[in-house]
């Protein structure tokens, strides 16, 4: 039996799960912003203890590759890489929007189009569109949402919008074919199930070269009381 430890840190949720093959054995989650740095290691320990195994029994580490929170992705990736090096096991990566889509597609009985959305800033989201078979309709992009967004798709098909970026779009996308789900967050429980498929195919990441998919370059904000000494004039 293949044991896969999965880390999902792309949004405000910090999630860890353990699977044997594709079956979920244990999961632990914290729904709290900025919790990744302080809680991720604790959740890993909790899941391992709950499953009644040793870390050395783990056969692979899976991680969400983004897009999402820059800090969350960095913490998840660095932790996953560290575990892989320490245990000498492979790294598996799954993009965050695919994780979200798989969670919703489990109950997508009407075969609607799926549009996972991760909050970026203002009216911008990281999103993609796929059908119920997983075929990509629109590739992952950073998209500023307005009343005409997805208009062509919505004229033809029902589209389900979900993820932590979808709620702010509800008042803007008012088409009759637009349906919004709330409370959908990416979970390591889904990540681990998907990772087993990649494990069977030997689709592993290069530990030295792998980096999260940020989609946009990170820009640090200057504090409000910042004084640029170099450009200050008397």
Mean pLDDT of the chain: 92
Burial class of residue 177 in the structure, from the number of CB atoms within 10 Å of its CB (0-12 exposed, 13-18 middle, 19+ buried): middle
Range of the domain at 11: 3-95+186-201
CB atoms within 10 A of CB 87: 16
Same-domain pairing of 9 and 111: no
In a domain, 214, yes or no: no
Q: Are 117 and 163 in contact (CB under 8 A)?
A: yes
Q: What is the pLDDT of residues 23-34, one digit of tens each?
A: 999 999 998 888
Same-domain pairing of 44 and 126: no
**Residue 50 belongs to a domain with what CATH number?**
3.30.420.40
- Per-residue confidence (pLDDT) for residue 11, from 0 to 100: 94
In a domain, 144, yes or no: yes
Same-domain pairing of 75 and 90: yes
Q: What is the pLDDT of residues 192-218, one digit of tens each?
A: 999 999 999 999 999 999 999 998 754
In a domain, 79, yes or no: yes
In a domain, 39, yes or no: yes
Q: What is the pLDDT of residues 108-147, one digit of tens each?
A: 999 999 999 999 989 999 999 999 999 999 999 999 999 9
Same-domain pairing of 68 and 86: yes
Same-domain pairing of 103 and 141: yes
In a domain, 146, yes or no: yes
Same-domain pairing of 86 and 145: no
DSSP for residue 56? G
Q: Are 129 and 209 in contact (CB under 8 A)?
A: no
Same-domain pairing of 173 and 197: no
The mean per-residue pLDDT over the stretch 84-112 comes to 97
Structural domains of the chain, count: 2
> Cβ contacts of residue 91 below 8 Å, gap of 6+?
60, 61, 62, 63, 80, 81, 84, 204, 205, 207, 210
In a domain, 222, yes or no: no
- The Cα–Cα gap between 62 and 204 comes to 9
Same-domain pairing of 17 and 66: yes
- Per-residue confidence (pLDDT) for residue 98, from 0 to 100: 97
Q: What is the pLDDT of residues 164-179, one digit of tens each?
A: 999 999 999 999 999 9
Helical spans, DSSP H, in 26-69: 36-51
- Per-residue confidence (pLDDT) for residue 72, from 0 to 100: 95
Asked whether the CA dihedral 95, 100, 104, 106 is positive or negative, the reply is positive
Same-domain pairing of 191 and 176: no
DSSP string, 170-182: TTT---TTEEE--
């Amino acid at each position: 039996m293949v044991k896969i430890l999965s880390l999902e840190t792309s949004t405000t949720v910090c999630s860890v799960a353990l699977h044997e093959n594709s079956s979920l054995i244990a999961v632990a989650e914290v729904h709290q912003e900025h919790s990744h740095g302080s809680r991720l290691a604790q959740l890993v320990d909790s899941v391992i203890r709950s499953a009644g195994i040793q870390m050395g029994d783990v056969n692979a580490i899976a991680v969400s590759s983004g897009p999402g929170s820059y800090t969350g992705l960095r913490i998840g990736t660095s932790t996953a890489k560290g575990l892989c090096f320490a245990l000498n096991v492979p790294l598996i990566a799954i993009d965050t929007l695919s994780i979200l889509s798989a969670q919703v597609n489990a109950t997508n009985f009407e075969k609607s189009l799926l549009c996972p959305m991760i909050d970026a800033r203002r009216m911008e989201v990281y999103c993609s569109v796929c059908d119920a078979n997983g075929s990509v309709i629109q590739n992952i992009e950073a998209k500023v949402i307005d009343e005409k967004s997805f208009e062509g798709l919505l004229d033809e098909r029902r589209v389900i919008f979900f993820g932590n970026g979808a709620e702010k779009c509800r008042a803007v996308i008012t088409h009759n074919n637009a349906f919004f789900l709330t409370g959908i967050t990416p979970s390591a429980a889904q990540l681990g199930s998907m990772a087993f498929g990649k494990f069977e195919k030997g689709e592993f990441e290069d530990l030295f070269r792998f980096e999260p998919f940020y989609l946009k370059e990170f820009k640090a904000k200057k504090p409000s009381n910042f004084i640029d000494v170099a450009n200050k004039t008397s």
